[in-house]
Amino acid sequence: MKIYVGSEEQIAKKAAQQYVDLLTKKPNAVLGGATGSTPLGLYHELARLNKEGVITFKDVTTFNLDEYVGLDGSHDQSYRYFMNHNLFDHIDIDKERTHVPDGINLENIKTYDKAIEKAGGIDLQILGIGVDGHIAFNEPGTPFESLTHVVELEENTREVNSRFFKSIDEVPHQAVTMGIKSIMHARSIILIALGDNKADVVEKMINGPVDTAVAASILQLHPDCTVYLDEKAAAKLLASGADVEIERI
């Protein structure tokens, strides 16, 4: 696990370079997408690089981590809408090659992992982390062997996400999510954590035991995982004195 600490802008630029390196070598790479505020800086940087001709997404295929159950792609809080609005509308990607789990026709979740496999598997997956250690919508206790499935969202997760809705009452109670095994199949993983509310869980993810109580701890076992932290998210890790190599950007 490689760990970098820097500002949000520095993180966006350094993480984007991994995409440049990948797409230069493999223009038809398969990318794993994520939503929420965490990847926005990276997405803006990727759009800038695309506009400047540094990289192209015209042969890229994407698969997103998750989607709310009950929201179709036209809903402004759906993750399909998020991806279109924050990335796909700003780059030269063929939207027919972009995939988000189906939150309406739940039978389709049975084929999501097979579709990823048929596309060649995910080359680079972007992740955030929840304050309880969840990755995608894999809440604490989710088996590490899980594939794409429907999950009941914890109240804490719904409360955190309610800032995007008019009230918590509008936040769906369920989501479709790639499972932890699905995520671990990615050849490379980037995890970004920003803010002091992530400091506790970042320290547990990296220094703690590999345990389903902190889903992200499984990333300790991934052969190519890069973690980007701002100073606030890295605070407890830096103070722990643990024997982990941390590089400043």
Which residues are tagged catalytic? 66, 132, 134, 139
Alpha helices in the chain (DSSP H): 8-25, 40-51, 79-86, 112-118, 155-161, 180-184, 199-207, 231-240
Q: Give the pairing type, strands 225-229 and 188-193.
A: parallel
Q: In one letter, which amino acid is 148? A: T
Q: Give the pairing type, strands 61-64 and 30-33.
A: parallel
Contact 227, 3 (CB under 8 A): yes
Cα–Cα distance, 4 to 129 (Å, whole number): 16
Q: Which residues have CB under 8 Å from 188's CB, separation 6+?
A: 18, 22, 123, 124, 125, 224, 225, 226
Q: Which residues have CB under 8 Å from 84's CB, separation 6+?
A: 73, 95
Cα–Cα distance, 226 to 36 (Å, whole number): 19
User: How many helices (DSSP H) and strands (DSSP E) are in the chain?
Assistant: 8, 11
Q: Give the pairing type, strands 66-68 and 174-177.
A: antiparallel
Q: Which of 205, 217, 39 is nearest to 142 (CA)?
A: 217
Contact 138, 181 (CB under 8 A): no
